Structure 1
Amino acid sequence: MSVRDDSGGSGRAKAASRAPASFGAFARKPVERNAVHAAAGPASGIESVQALPDGAVEVGAIVDAYGLKGWVKVAPHAGANRGGDALTSAKSWWIVKGREIKAAPVVAAKTHSDSIVAQLSGVGDRDQALALRGWQVHVRRSDFPSLEADEFYWVDLIGLEVVNEAGVALGAVADLIDNGAHSVLRIEYPSQGKDGQPVTGERLIPFVGVYVKTVDQAAKRIVVDWEADY
């Protein structure tokens, strides 16, 4: 996660430094595909909490048990090979189902095919792991792996104002889409329907260097080479 990255994707977009790299190509930090990331220090087990921590981002969902020793299988919204290492790098997850929220220390986690598998503290057998199916997984934004200067997490682009080089406002980033070749900005803007009633318009702008000129996260603005009537 198209890859899901609304309030919570951890997909990455990477700006091109030279041709033929794509401005919006996903990038994943070099990491051994089957490397196990173990948490440091003691873990106290899964515990109920009142609220998610500040900066929590939904990054995936527990979909199954993995093996017989209590490991869980997670489908990351960004894909295991496209930002899923946010799950393997975090020492704690927060899992949510309905109104229930639990803090889940991570004992170990690794990439497995197109999924993430992990051992959570206090989950010791397959039945306990199966009981966690359907829980959404959140991690703190501060736990995401660091990026290079020309890389961007989708979650950090959502909400940014988009203007063209003439300064014309085109809307704000509502979502991103992965079309397989590159990311696409989905931009929403206020418009008017044929009946004169207000509606929400949509623009799709490929997140590639020919169109996207600058991304200024501090100013919360993206400048693009794109006309308002496209």
Structure 2
Amino acid sequence: MLPALEAAELPADAIEVGRIADAWGIKGWFKVLPHSAQPEALFSSKRWFLQAPGASASTAFRLAIREAKEHSDCIVATSADVPDRNAAEALRGARVFVPRSSFPTAGDDEYYWVDLIGLSVVNREGVVLGTVRELLATGPQTTLVLAAEEEGKAIERMVPFVSAFVDKVDLPGRLITVDWQPDY
């Protein structure tokens, strides 16, 4: 699908950050629908990796980004490897990956969602509440969606990811401590 681009292997720390929606204009710009409301990773990385829809995990292409900027509800970007609208249209549907190592450094008490997924969650009493399966943006706050098992049955718990309930996030220890009870 993307024959003019250089084939490349996805970096070991590659994170999917968006999808190319369509061409934008006539000079090779293209629209990217980011997976995050704050897509800093798309702006901070000057090399993206693309996978065509339905391609195997080992099939990827490197794309050197000249410029990326916000436009309405999406990101628009350009690359020297995408000279015109026809080339940009050929990218439609491609998944966009960025190496995790090129993400901007998170500030104090800020975390990338991708870093929280898979962490164990325990309450102040040491009761295991589950493992972070995903995060949901629920308007004014983010919610941790936990996968757990009780009495042999899979259950789901939701814990607001706000300072009133989250005591500590230990990324190296892969643990989040919360003020939350199993029966909430």
| Superposition TM-score, scaled by structure 2 size | 0.92
Query: Matches of 1:210 and 1:46 in 2, distance apart?
Result: 48
Query: Matches of 1:213 and 1:154 in 2, distance apart?
Result: 17
Q: In the alignment, is residue 94 of structure 1 matched against residue 49 of structure 2?
A: yes
Aligned-residue sequence identity (percent) comes to 45
CA positional deviation for 1:46: 2.5
Write out per-residue CA displacement over residues 190-210 of structure 1, whole angstroms, 9 at most, x where no aligned residue. Answer: 234xxxxx3321000001111
Task: Determine which of 59, 74, 84 is the counterpart of 2:32.
Answer: 74
Residue equivalent to 2:176? 222
Which residues of structure 2 form unaligned runs of 5+?
A: none
Aligned-residue CA RMSD (Å): 1.2
CA contact (8 A) 1:46 1:121 kept: no
Q: Which secondary structure state, in structure 2, belongs to the residue aligned with residue 138 of structure 1?
A: strand
- Tell me the number of residue pairs that the alignment of Structure 1 and Structure 2 aligns: 177
Task: Determine which of 145, 165, 168 is the counterpart of 1:211.
Answer: 165
Write out per-residue CA displacement over residues 109-147 of structure 1, whole angstroms, 9 at most, x where no aligned residue. Answer: 111122111112311110110110000000000111112
Q: In the alignment, is residue 161 of structure 1 matched against residue 120 of structure 2?
A: yes
Residue equivalent to 2:98? 139
CA contact (8 A) 1:88 1:116 kept: no
Query: Matches of 2:113 and 2:41 in 1, distance apart?
Result: 13
Q: Which secondary structure state, in structure 1, belongs to the residue aligned with residue 65 of structure 2?
A: strand
Which residues of structure 1 form unaligned runs of 5+?
A: 1-44, 193-197
Q: In the alignment, is residue 113 of structure 1 matched against residue 72 of structure 2?
A: yes
Q: AA paired with 1:85?
A: E
Q: Which secondary structure state, in structure 2, belongs to the residue aligned with residue 111 of structure 1?
A: strand
Q: Which secondary structure state, in structure 2, belongs to the residue aligned with residue 123 of structure 1?
A: coil
Task: Determine which of 8, 11, 17 is the counterpart of 1:59.
Answer: 17
Q: Which secondary structure state, in structure 1, belongs to the residue aligned with residue 145 of structure 2?
A: strand
Q: Which secondary structure state, in structure 2, belongs to the residue aligned with residue 134 of structure 1?
A: coil
Larger relative contact order (CA 8 Å, sep ≥ 6)? 1
